[in-house]
Amino acid sequence: MIRYLFLIGIFLGISEKGYSQINESDTVRLQTRLAITGAWQTGNVAMFTTRNKLDLTVAPIKDLVFKTQNVYLYQAFFNKKADEDLSSRNFIYWKPQKTVYPFLIFFASKSFRRNIDFRYFAGFGATWQIVKHQGHTLKVALSGIYEQTNFSKALFNKNEYDGSEKITTPRATVWLFGKHQIVKDKISFHYECFLQPSIEKTNNLRWQTEAGLDIFLNKKFSFTTNYLYTYESVVTLGQKDFDSILTFGLSYQIRK
């Protein structure tokens, strides 16, 4: 028999109405959103998956906003770990209510599945708000970063990278974000995509697409479904260069 367990996250606070993804350009001083999604299957196939995401935006002073996005993914088949990924993406924005505004970024992550012991990059860029009005948001951003990745293996799908467990490269980043209310305060759709080519190596490319749908159950909770697709052109030998995952669960949001 197949069963799916939708995991429930409880995060204390208050919320006036549903907003789904948090937006650094909102004028509120504090926003946070916790989404816990997953699946559990038993029987002929034993599988457990959970993907948890905590976003936080704080405006300590006027015109300055700090935003952090943290994700934890775990998967196991027949009680054997298949995935354990952790990532933290952090921004500092200056005057994000403007049409164009600058930011600093720092990212750190590790991935059991991709044999990444530790990856970090840092850089700066600017965001352009193409659409900003009630119910709809559309943004694009450009940035330059410097990245270092420490792998647990030194053999790769591209032979020119063999022999070293560390790969460093500067990258450009093109980023797209959208959030749209399909039914006001009831159903919201959001998506986030980025492309990161290496400036030095044309064969070193990474991109990611994430999309989600929120159905608001009340003023605090929403049912959420999330699809994530990732691609990396340089991976350790024996690993595929893409992954995708579809999860379901609940989210809870605070705005003050």
Q: Indicate the pLDDT class of residue 21, thresholds 50, 70 and 90.
A: low
Query: 3-class DSSP state for residue 161?
Result: helix
For residues 93-116, give the mean pLDDT.
Answer: 96
pLDDT at 132 over 60: yes
**Which pair of structure tokens corresponds to residue 15?**
């919320």
In the chain, % of residues over pLDDT 90: 75
Task: Note whether 182 and 188 are within 8 A (CB).
Answer: yes
**Which pair of structure tokens corresponds to residue 65?**
């906003």
**Bridge partners, residue 133, by sequence:** 136
What is d(CA 139, CA 96) in angstroms, rounded to the nearest whole number?
11
Q: Cα(first)–Cα(last) distance of the chain, in Å? A: 44
**Which pair of structure tokens corresponds to residue 183?**
């039914």
pLDDT at 12 over 90: no
Among residues 15, 21, 60, 53, which one has the least CA distance to residue 255?
15
Q: Where are the domains of the chain?
A: 30-255
Full DSSP string of 62-78 = TTEEEEEEEEEEEEEET
The model's pTM is: 0.87
Mention every residue, 6+ apart, whose C-beta is less than 8 A from residue 234: 156, 157, 158, 161, 167, 203, 204
Top pLDDT among 228 and 135 is at 228
Distances (CA, A) of 226 to 107, 145, 155, 213: 21, 27, 33, 7
For residues 56-64, give the mean pLDDT.
Answer: 92
The CATH number given to 30-255 is 2.40.160.40
What is d(CA 56, CA 22) in angstroms, rounded to the nearest whole number?
8
What is d(CA 193, CA 160) in angstroms, rounded to the nearest whole number?
28
Among residues 173, 172, 231, 158, which one has the least CA distance to residue 200?
172
Q: Each residue of 218-232: pLDDT tens digit?
A: 877 899 999 999 999
pLDDT at 20: 54
What is d(CA 34, CA 72) in angstroms, rounded to the nearest whole number?
12
Task: Note whether 129 and 25 are within 8 A (CB).
Answer: yes
CA atoms within a 13 Å half-sphere pointing along the CA-CB vector of 172: 7
pLDDT at 14 over 60: no
pLDDT at 5: 32
Query: 3-class DSSP state for residue 38?
Result: strand
